Structure 1
């Protein structure tokens, strides 16, 4: 299987795992706010990377992949905030952060190599 599709699958898996993680967040104002933000940024990272697969030029690809990277970085900050206030399953949060760091490194390297 082509590596770009493996990465897309990882981004989809990450977004799906975030959905499950957010279901278990407390339903108070903090849980709802950060949960909704995390759902959007994690989902957007997968969706924008999917769009990047259909671009015709390196410039378009870099643009969409860069948006995906920004969304992943937003997800990382969100999870760090949730860690500071001890929201959500700590083990799952740690797993999400680990996968995020790997995804960020991969996409940043792809963008760098396309320039």
Structure 2
């Protein structure tokens, strides 16, 4: 398998999410929202990795669609953490920008894959 740009971006993003989780637990004593963003933020790359080894195009589409949904959920948690002042605007903007970039790439991959399978 060749190098995957989207997988690499998702993996680097997951590292940032794990670091955010550690910060929120240690410095802010926040455990509920941080667990949610940890789960969804690390799930993106895990689903992409599964999709890269899919058994079929439909399986690939399924895994990448799940990654796209997890990415959207992660965006929500990041926005909520910012709105509730658990993270500052600078950290929030960087993470949301990263997440948005991954979201756009995943949306494009999902759309192209659906077109190739003649799915609406």
TM-score normalized by structure 2? 0.87
Which segments of 5 or more consecutive residues in structure 2 lack a partner in the other structure? Answer: 115-120
Aligned residue for 2:31, secondary structure, equals: helix
Deviation at 1:24, TM superposition (A): 1.5
Q: Tell me the equivalent position of 1:56.
A: 55
| Bigger Rg, structure 1 or 2 | 2
Q: Does 2:111 align with 1:112?
A: yes
CA distance, structure 1, for counterparts of residue 46 and residue 89 of structure 2: 26
Instruction: Indicate conservation of the 8 Å contact 1:45/1:69, yes or no.
Output: yes
RMSD (Å), alpha carbons: 1.5
The equivalent residue for 1:14 is 13
Query: Tell me, which stretches of 5 or more residues in structure 1 are unaligned?
Result: none
Distance 2:62 2:14 in 1: 20
Partner of 2:22: 23
Q: Distance in 1 between matches of 2:42 and 2:83?
A: 23
The DSSP-based 3-state class of the residue aligned with 1:24 is: helix
Q: Structure 1 residue 75 and structure 2 residue 67: aligned?
A: no
Which aligned segments of 4 or more residues in structure 1 are displaced greater than 4 angstroms?
none
Instruction: Name the structure 1 match of 2:102.
Output: 103
3-state SS in 2 of match to 1:88 = coil
Shift of 1:56: 2.5
Deviation per residue, 1:39-58 (Å, 9 max, x gap)? 10011111011000001211
